[in-house]
Amino acid sequence: MFRFTSPPIPHYLTSGEDIYPAGGRHADRSSIGVFDLLAVTGGCLHMAEEGLPLTIPAGHFAILRPDRSHWTTMPCSEETHFYWLHFQTPGNWSEVTERGPFVTPSSSDPYLQIESFVFHVPRIGELRAKEMAYARLREILQLRESPEAVARFRQQGLFQQLLLHLQEEGSPAPNDPQLALADAAAAFLRLHYREQVSYKQLSEQLHFHANYIALCMKKAFGCTPLDYLTRYRIEQAKQLLIHTSEPIGHIAEATGFVTFSYFVRCFSKHTGTRPTAFRSEYR
């Protein structure tokens, strides 16, 4: 699967559709510089990407990398129809075998409330809701005929819907209870960050042993529940320091820290500066 860090979100470039007769072949290309999404509606494409075979029958899709060569391994045995779509991202991406932990990078400017996140798109697979995917691809194609700028905006929106559809096609949520439990624990911690949340309370709320919850959160977020809670409290404290004139002691209490000294210690550890200096710099 492909792992994209956003923002920036991958963007649509161009698209089209082709019909190959029996004996037809997809063009051989090398390092085209864009991701190439192929969605086959009838027939079958037989391809390879630097040694990795890619058989794409009707109702399936594949995404070819922008930095590798791909070629046809076998001509089409029957008439084959498919949509193709090129997209790219100026952001970070990688090819991974499983969903790894993601830690939001700290921003040097707390005014920029842009939350970084990752999403995973399968490299190849079956379109379980294929008619929905085909409909979006057709809409994107139809908008090519419009000269209006708003049509380009709509194309990007439809492409984002298509990416979300592909992500959901490969979502591990139904098959990975550990990630589901980690999400539930994170939601509970965000909701109760002002309170003194204990591992016992978390365990009773989610009906799992605290050690198992910690294991799941390390898998999903790369940290323990306590670390996750502390980081979230620090982010809330940053906003109060910038946007209010509340005394720092009150802010420490309002964001769930037991003592003022503990708040200062945690804040300095995670931001590299003390709360007073942080407020002076950004107010």
Residue given tokens 């990975």 in the structure block: 176
Long-range contacts of 193-201 (CB under 8 A, 24+ apart): 193/229, 193/232, 193/233, 193/236, 193/255, 193/256, 194/254, 194/255, 194/256, 195/256, 196/256, 196/258, 197/229, 197/256, 199/225, 199/226
pLDDT band at 207 (very low <50, low <70, confident <90, very high): very high
**Three-state secondary structure readout of 65-108:** CCCCEEEEEECCCCCEEEEEEEEECCCCEEECCCCCCCCCCCCC
Question: H-helix or E-strand containing 158?
Answer: helix 149-169
Look at residue 3 in the predicted model and tell me its pLDDT: 86
Look at residue 277 in the predicted model and tell me its pLDDT: 93
DSSP class of residue 259 equals S
Look at residue 190 in the predicted model and tell me its pLDDT: 92
On whether the CB atoms of residues 227 and 184 are closer than 8 A, the answer is no
CA atoms within 13 A on the CB side of 182: 20
Give the whole-angstrom CA distance, residue 148 versus residue 186: 43
Look at residue 131 in the predicted model and tell me its pLDDT: 92
On whether the CB atoms of residues 248 and 276 are closer than 8 A, the answer is yes
Average pLDDT of the residues in 237-244: 90
Q: Which of 73-82, 189-198, 217-226 has the lowest mean pLDDT?
A: 217-226
Look at residue 106 in the predicted model and tell me its pLDDT: 54
Look at residue 75 in the predicted model and tell me its pLDDT: 95
Residue 196 buriedness (CB in 10 A; 0-12 / 13-18 / 19+): exposed
Give the whole-angstrom CA distance, residue 175 versus residue 100: 16
Domains of the chain: residue spans and CATH: 2-169 (2.60.120.280), 177-282 (1.10.10.60)
- The 10s digit of each residue's pLDDT in 74-111 is 999 999 999 999 999 998 898 887 665 555 555 555 55
On whether the CB atoms of residues 89 and 4 are closer than 8 A, the answer is yes
The proportion of the chain whose per-residue pLDDT surpasses 90, expressed as a percent, equals: 66
pLDDT at 204 over 90: yes
Pairing outcome for strands 117-121 and 35-42: unpaired
Look at residue 282 in the predicted model and tell me its pLDDT: 79
pLDDT band at 174 (very low <50, low <70, confident <90, very high): very low
- The 10s digit of each residue's pLDDT in 95-151 is 887 665 555 555 555 555 555 677 889 999 999 889 999 999 999 999 998 989 999
Give the whole-angstrom CA distance, residue 236 versus residue 266: 13
Average pLDDT of the residues in 260-279: 93
On whether the CB atoms of residues 220 and 282 are closer than 8 A, the answer is no
